[in-house]
Structure 1
Amino acid sequence: MRIIGGKLKGKRIKTLPKRDDTKLLRPTTDRVKESVFSILNNYLEGTTFLDLFAGSGNVGIEALSRGAGKVIFVENDKRFCNLIKENLKKLGIEKDRYEVICDDYVKALKKLAKRGMVFDFIYADPPYEKGFYTRIVNMVKNLGLLDRDGLLILEEPKKHPFLPEDEKWIVERRGYGTTLVTFVNFHPEEEENV
């Protein structure tokens, strides 16, 4: 897996070998990553970015490469947490620009809220079949983890798209093969009144 843009463009990210117990890992494809980051690219400099269900750290490392000020990686599998740390160290990324939280996403989001963390971008790529989307959206909204102008970006299966409580929250949806990327903001009415 490689970094496709920014200061670290072309560098490789290590992943775990594919085995039966890692078959649920579905890394974000280069096509999806390139498309998402071409949308975010002019807005990333100095931002806070949360990579939820981080896996190998692919998306969060891409954000760091493109200028994000701080990225927090959340992953509950210790093997992947260690892999993220190894990748960040190998790439020479300063320790004050990232944090790796090895915990369940629910506990991690609650801990981040207690610390008063607010993110410009939250990228969530949970296992498709687990149905975590509604809970993720509700927790991010109710815990106040997203900046007013921030975006929650959900990578989901095109066959079974997430349906939010309020359709106005969906800023945009883009399809890439079998993947759907949904951009969510909780204050769209404020933007309309500007």
Structure 2
Amino acid sequence: MRIIGGKYKGKRLKSLPKREDTKLLRPTTDRVKESVFSILNNYLEGVKFLDLFAGTGNVGIEALSRGAAKVIFVENDKRFCKLIRENLERLGVEKNRYEIICDDYVNALKRLARRGEKFDFIYADPPYEKGFYTRIVHMVKNLGLLDEDGLLMLEEPKNDPFLPDDEDWIVERRGYGTTLVTFVNFHPDGE
């Protein structure tokens, strides 16, 4: 895995040895990452970004490389939390520009809401087979974690996409090979 744009362009990210991470990690491909960040590129300077199910920190570090002011990484696996920290330190990212929460995504989202955190962008890449999508969308909406014009992005399998059931959601989908990225935006009530 490598950073494909911005300040850290071309830098490689450390991961677990192949035999350990193949069952644990399905990293966001360079093709998906390049496509998503080319959409976001003009809007990243100075933003607050949440990387859910962060793995090695691949997506969040890309956001930092392209100008995000702060990225919060949420990852449940302690080995990957350690890798995220190592990757950030190897790149020399200032400590005030990131936070790593090594906890279950439900606990992490609740904690962030209690702190009053709001994000410009939230990227979630949960395990495909576990069906986290509905819960993530409802929690982000109900806990008010997105800024008014914020965007939630869900990486999901193209053959079994998440379907929103709330008319307040604006959803756009973009396919990249076997991957689908769903963009969700919540409008305030009455607008």
Per the alignment, in what secondary structure is the counterpart of residue 28 of structure 1?
coil
TM-score by length of 2: 0.96
Contact 1:169 1:188 in 2 (8 A): no
Q: Percent identity?
A: 84
Shift of residue 188, structure 1, vs aligned partner: 8.1
5 Å-filtered alignment, 1:162-181, equals: 162-167=162-167, 169-181=169-181
**Any idea what the Cα deviations from partners look like across 1:56-91, whole Å, max 9, x if unmatched?**
000000000000000000000000000000000000
Structure 1 gap ranges (5+): none
Partner of 1:15: 15
Counterpart residue type for residue 43 of structure 1: Y
Q: 1:13-62, CA deviations, whole angstroms, 9 ceiling, x for partnerless residues? A: 10111225641310000000000000000000000000000000000000
In structure 2, the CA distance between the partners of 1:119 and 1:165, relative to structure 1 (3 Å rule), is: same
Do 2:151 and 2:185's aligned partners in 1 also have CA atoms closer than 8 Å? yes
Residue 4 of structure 1: aligned partner: 4
Residue 37 of structure 2 is matched in structure 1 by 37
Return structure 1 stretches of 4+ with deviation > 4 angstroms.
none
- How far apart, CA to CA, are the structure 2 residues paired with 1:84 and 1:21? 14
Match of 2:128 in 1: 128
For 1:82-101, list aligned pairs within 5 A.
82-101=82-101
Amino acid at match of 2:41: N
SS at match of 1:32: helix
Q: Which amino acid aligns with 2:166?
A: D
RMSD: 1.5
Once structures 1 and 2 are overlaid, which stretch shifts more, 164-173 or 68-77? Answer: 164-173
Q: Which moved more, 1:168-177 or 1:36-45?
A: 168-177
Distance 1:168 1:177 in 2: 28
Give me the whole-angstrom Cα distance separating, in 2, the residues matched to 1:48 and 1:144.
14
In the superposition, the TM-score normalised over structure 1's length comes to 0.94
2: distance between equivalents of 1:14 and 1:189?
43
Q: Distance in 1 between the 2:54 and 2:48 partners? A: 15
Residue 107 of structure 1 pairs with residue 97 of structure 2: no
Aligned length: 191
Deviations 1:138-176 (A, max 9, x none): 000000000110000000001111011225513310001
